[in-house]
Amino acid sequence: MKDTTTDTASIADLAPIGLSWKKFGPINLPASKDAGPAVVDGGVARCYAHTPRGALLALTNISIRSSNGPDWRDVVDQQVYPDEAQEVFEQGVAASRADQTSDFPSSTPTLAGYKLISYTPDTAVIDLAFDTPGGTVLTMVLTARWHEGDWKQQMSPNGGQSESVVKRFNANGYSPFPAG
């Protein structure tokens, strides 16, 4: 990985890491040869830079891939932080997918913006904003933990992806994702 900048201000500018967009089913997910994922195997996208931008790309990918696509269980096994919440999350996703006829929801939100809440070399907390097909913006505060040489998404104690999902949105402090 070429992205070695651990300065938290660097997360506001994704241009230096050569951001591109890769299709995952009907969803566009961000990728960078400099910040990750360096390896994509089926639905699992891994090997992110140990930087704020690497954590951002990891969370955007893991949060979508861990509940969508045919390989979602592999994503949960390999990219969700291994604690009690991992199993609760996997059971919840399995239950919610039981009635689905597709690996992806019929209408999918798109990544709109992000805000770094906190960063240390061990833990990153990032607020992701999603535009929904109905015109509402949802935000999710997600946590990544550096574990066994890569970023893993840590689920909330109740097994959810986020402690809170907010339907009111104020763009102050958010960096928009470049068009994808």
How far apart (Å, rounded) are the C-alpha atoms in residues 60 and 68?
A: 13
Position 23 pLDDT exceeds 60: yes
- CB contact at 8 A, 110 and 82: no
Q: Is the peptide bond before 37 cis (omega within 30 degrees of 0)?
A: yes
How far apart (Å, rounded) are the C-alpha atoms in residues 180 and 176?
A: 11
Q: pTM of the prediction?
A: 0.92
The tokens describing 74, both together, are 């592999």
Q: Dump pLDDT digits (tens) for 146-177.
A: 999 999 999 988 777 765 555 555 667 889 98
Residue 109's pLDDT is what? 80
Q: Domain 8-176, what architecture?
A: Roll (3.10)
Q: Dump pLDDT digits (tens) for 74-123.
A: 999 999 999 999 999 999 999 988 877 778 777 778 888 999 999 999 99
pLDDT category of residue 136 using cuts at 50, 70 and 90:
confident
